[in-house]
Chain A
Amino acid sequence: MAADLKFAKTHEWVRPESGGVVTVGISSYAVEALTDLVFMQLPAVGRKVKAGESFGEIESVKAVSDLYAPISGEIVEVNSALPGKLETLGKDPYGEGWVARIKPDNPAEMDGLLDRTSYDALVGSQPH
């Protein structure tokens, strides 16, 4: 599953879609690590983001975490149903739990992201 995904080290995933946009979400590892999610702030549609820039936040009982844009571009759509249904992130992080769609400034930026194998290796080495 999710073989076409690329990952940022900050645990966001990116999937190219038809029409030159990419879908962005949060990895299942990150969702599981956060636990007890209570709040999510989505970016505004139309906002231009730079890769690595905070473009939203997610709050668990314990802490507030930034969401970082994994790729530079314009936010063209957000999953506005998600903040009211945060359990979707745990149930289907790579499908219904998507966060935003971005029209990349430079699709080649995708090449700088991790593939599934490299990302899994990264999170597998994290202390538990």
Chain B
Amino acid sequence: MSQSLLETPLLLETPLVGWHVAHGGRMVDFAGWRMPVQYASIVEEHLATRASAGMFDVSHMGRLTIGGPAAVEWLESLLTRKVAGIEVGRVRYTLVTSDADGQPVVLDDALVSRDTDAADGTMRLALVVNASNRDRVVAWLTSRLPGAGVTFADRTRETAMIAVQGPRAIQIVGSLCTPADAARIAGLGNYRATSAVVAGHAAAVSRTGYTGEDGVELVVDAHAATPVWEAIHAAGAPLGLRACGLGARDTLRLEAGMPLYGHELRENSDPFAIGLGLAVNLDGRSFPGASHYAALRKHHAGRVRVGLTFDSKRSAREGDVVMRGERHVGVVTSGSFAPTLGTAVAMAMVDRDVATAGTAVEGVIRESRQPAVVTPLPFYQRDKPGA
């Protein structure tokens, strides 16, 4: 019987690992990265993000850059969202697909953005992908590189990414910038990006996140990660900001009804059935799988993604079966106690005839059945100013 030389595989570490460990982060293996799942309490970190702000080390996410005179044309041929015509500072949610015997394979979901142009006038684009899919997305894109005209680099290890999320996030980050940069960040629309100097370090700042709150995600050079992180923490803590681990990130995105690759979204997912139709632009497009998706869009069959609200704090978890009476009607893709709501919620793929809001179903949790009601997503939506 062969044995690994070392008991545990080597894990990648973000530039912030020292801070996490020094501050009580419970470190776990997440997609090959040594990441904090929580510092003290997931519930407290979650609630702090909703009430004030949470900061998250998301440096494990893959950060890829694309440049060169043919960059737009090349990426346009590979992503489900249009890249042609994208303006400077625009961020779009997209899927990355490949094609296996005519069938599309969803490799990942990602954010594609256009940075300011390079000094030679060519466009620069950025792609943020999931840690769990970075290797295969990089391999796939590399395999599709044309002979010339496109430069493609994986900058994950040279940079760090910090998400600051919550009603106080913009104020806290702005307090570490010049008034002009602070005003520009405050004026950024959702899914818009700019560059700024944050706590003395150059940062790419985008009005994006994965919590259902207002906020930004910052990309800085790896060496700037700890000083920027510490400055945000020091500025935010008096206002109620907390450092948050991946546990709170997961409960926050669940309440916000956001899909997570590997759970709601999978290789063979029908994007239209899981509510990601807006991530697939078929208008004159020829990305891998486009013709198959064109047929799927009209098909309207198979299970659809819904929310489930339980009448207890105990939630069904991924893989648990959903029943209506004696009929097996679906499967849970993510589930947890939802701290903001005070009850358990889940997302599930269910048969279309039970997908109507208000339908009573049951989640099978081990041997017992837990009553739940089909609920529109998202479970939680922040109050938007002026809305």
Given contacts A61-B247, A64-B317, are A38 and B344 in contact (CB under 8 A)?
A: yes
Contact of B26 among A59, A61, A128 (CB under 8 A): A128
Contact of A59 among B37, B251, B314 (CB under 8 A): B314
| Chain A residues near B26 (CB-CB < 8 A) | 128
Interface size on A, residues (CB 8 A): 11
Q: Can you report 26 residue pairs joining A to B where beta carbons are below 8 Å apart?
A: A35-B38, A35-B40, A35-B42, A36-B41, A36-B42, A36-B43, A38-B313, A38-B344, A39-B312, A39-B314, A57-B366, A59-B314, A60-B42, A61-B42, A61-B43, A61-B247, A61-B251, A61-B336, A61-B337, A62-B37, A62-B38, A62-B42, A62-B247, A64-B317, A64-B366, A128-B26
Binding site for B on A (CB under 8 A): 35-36, 38-39, 57, 59-62, 64, 128
Complex A-B, nearest 8 residue pairs according to Cβ-Cβ distance, in ascending order:
A39-B314, A38-B313, A38-B337, A61-B42, A36-B43, A36-B42, A61-B337, A35-B41
Question: In the complex, how many angstroms separate the beta carbon of A84 from the nearest chain B beta carbon?
Answer: 11
For the complex, would chain A's binding face be called helix, strand, loop or mixed by DSSP majority? strand
| Chain B residues near A128 (CB-CB < 8 A) | 26
Question: In the complex, how many angstroms separate the beta carbon of B186 from the nearest chain A beta carbon?
Answer: 33
- Could you say which interface size class chain B belongs to? 10 to 19
For the complex, would chain B's binding face be called helix, strand, loop or mixed by DSSP majority? mixed
Chain A residue at minimum C-beta to C-beta distance from B28: A62
Say if the beta carbon of B54 comes within 8 Å of chain A. Answer: no
Question: In the complex, how many angstroms separate the beta carbon of A62 from the nearest chain B beta carbon?
Answer: 5
Given contacts A57-B366, A61-B247, A62-B247, are A38 and B314 in contact (CB under 8 A)?
A: yes
* Docked pose: A128 CA to B336 CA in angstroms: 24
Say if the beta carbon of B271 comes within 8 Å of chain A. Answer: no
Chain A residue at minimum C-beta to C-beta distance from B38: A35
Say if the beta carbon of B339 comes within 8 Å of chain A. Answer: yes
* Docked pose: A57 CA to B366 CA in angstroms: 10
Question: In the complex, how many angstroms separate the beta carbon of A39 from the nearest chain B beta carbon?
Answer: 4
| Chain A residues near B40 (CB-CB < 8 A) | 35
| Chain B residues near A60 (CB-CB < 8 A) | 42
* Docked pose: A59 CA to B41 CA in angstroms: 14
* Docked pose: A36 CA to B41 CA in angstroms: 6
